Structure 1
Amino acid sequence: MLDAFTKRERTARQCARLAAPVVVGLLLGLLGPFGTYELLPLLPRLAYWLSVVSLNWLLCDLAIRYSATRVSAETRWGSLLVPLGGSFLVSLPATGVVHMANTLAGMERSASLLALYWKVLLLCAVISVAAYAWANRRRDDEQTVSPEAEGDAAGEGLSLFLERLPGPLPGRLVCLEMQDHYLAVHTTGGSELILCRMEDAARELQGLGQRVHRSWWVAQDAVVGTEREGQRQFLQLRDGRSVPVGRTYRARLKQAGLLS
């Protein structure tokens, strides 16, 4: 039953992910910025903006993922530096996309590629910030669960998670840590790597712990204290491990009594 729910959830998430650039493209097609309202009729204008936004949205998404590996979103201004850094990285290929779209649409070329570049950079910045905020909002929504649903799914979810392990759980579960495409399962008896997404593991282990960082999940009963270093906060775990707390998770952890 949980597998069917997961498939439906993934389908809904993919549809929502596709809906975002379509909505933005339609809106820009109706508004006709950068002179496209005067240069193109309605249908060609909608097709122009849908194609430009969709292609550049994909490029921005890839650039944001790369930028996120270089700039931590948990640092000050990280939530802006990550998408803006991605938009800067993708601005040159995105300019090529817009230049090609202008040519295919039969519009007059810009006075210079430099002038076109600044317009595209602005467009990419808007797309990147919107895409990043959209992804973060959906991530937070997916991690919010009611106490009733949490209790019903805990046992079945734990069983599914344990099936991912090559053998019995060696000790009590302490935390999970993302390591590239693998998930490190840390227990009181040691650690082992499994091929699993953090999102899937956190969903299966709802009710037993919480996601505290984009790369960390901790078991509720493994937390023994907290620590602060300047603006950064950490959870101290039973095995002596210090786990960072992401800014976007702090409010929920305070409600759960894990942070003061």
Structure 2
Amino acid sequence: MDRQLFSSALREVRADLSKRNTVIALLGVGIVLGLSGPFETIALMKLVPRLLYWIVVASTTFALGSLISAVCARVFAGKPFWLRMICSALLIGTCVTVFLAALNVLVFNVGAADATDVMPQWGLIVLISAVVDIGVNLAAPNSPDPLPPILDRISLAKRGDLIALSAEDHYVKVTTVNGTDMILMRLSDAIKEVGSTAGLRIHRSHWVALNQIQNATRASDRGTVTLSNDETRPISRSYIAVAKTAGLFPKGRADG
């Protein structure tokens, strides 16, 4: 996994966990579970250890689930919603099941559960994860999309809406509304990190954000786009058909 992508997701989870409402909610859930003692913990543990156990379970599973969900949101940015939900639920179910099994071995001094014990628990956690993840996304349909992972690679002062990516030797020049910065990577890999930013590759060495194109002109089998910062980028012969399909040129106008 890309370190920058993981770091971006981790920062998001840390920010969420530092919120007062989140802390209070997790403590509340842990206390309620500790007092009720589900899954026979009321018979196996005294009150104080039981409260601590369920607070740890609630906090850790929430953090794990949030981190995996945040990573999947970045990895599957621009991909179908259902694909991200399935992968997120399966990963959360697996990681949380492994964590609970390891914790129970340490706390209750029991042997690792066999598959017949683990699979129903795994299936239940996957189902719960899917319901929670889908519910959170549907409850906030207008929430802003996560920032493109590529922005984590450039200086803070230069971060902003993407305008263009351009290959220069072994580097990629990232152009945003706040300036430009250089990063060491391939253009094809950089394009994978633009997140939900709608864009178009118009040249072997250039990608542009569609909402930053002010004008596009065509001359025979080539073209040029003018961007919001008044810079221009060439459209090569190989990508002229792609640009035409994307609607960059007026319909019915003759080439010239």
TM-score (normalizing by structure 2): 0.44
Larger Rg: 2
TM-score (normalizing by structure 1): 0.44
Q: In proportion to residue count, which structure has more helix?
A: 1
